[in-house]
Amino acid sequence: MRQLFLPFSGALALFLLVYAASRFALWGLVLAAFLAYLLYLVLFRWQGRLLARGPSRAALERLAMREAWRKGGVLRPGDLSPFLPEAEARALLEGLAARGLCRREGEGFRF
C-alpha cells in the first residue's frame, strides 16, 4: 500500500495540472490520462528499485545510534534484530567501533 502512494499522487497531480491547463477539453483528458499513466509507471519502477536496494550504510548507522540513545547508551546486536539480522548488526556495530564512534564493552557497545 505504501509503495503505491508516491506514484499515484504524482500521477494524480500531473493529471489534474494537464487537464486544467487544457481547459477541460476532451483532447486534454486523453493527453492528461496518458501522461499521468507514464509518470505512474516511471515513479513505480524508480521507487521499486530504491526500495529493493534497502537502506544505505549511513541510514543504518543513524538507526543504530538512535536505538543506542533510546536504550541508554548501550546497544547489543540483538537490539537491532527488528531491523537487521544479528550478523549484519554485529558487523555494523564493529564498523562504528572501528571508526571510534562507540566502544565495545563485553557483549554490547557503548556510544
Strands 108-110 and 103-105, how do they pair?
A: antiparallel
Q: What is the pLDDT of residue 74?
A: 93
Q: What integer is the mean pLDDT of 3-7?
A: 92
Instruction: Name the amino acid, one letter, at 36.
Output: A
Q: What is the pLDDT of residue 2?
A: 75
Question: Residue 7 has which C-alpha cell?
Answer: 506514484
Q: How many CB atoms lie within 10 A of CB 91?
A: 13
- Report residue 3's pLDDT band, with 50, 70 and 90 as the boundaries: confident
Residue 109 CA to residue 93 CA, distance in Å, equals: 7
Q: What is the pLDDT of residues 14-72, one digit of tens each?
A: 999 999 999 999 999 999 999 999 999 999 999 999 999 989 999 999 999 999 999 99
Q: Are the beta carbons of 36 and 19 closer than 8 angstroms?
A: no
Q: What is the pLDDT of residue 35?
A: 98
Q: What is the pLDDT of residue 34?
A: 98
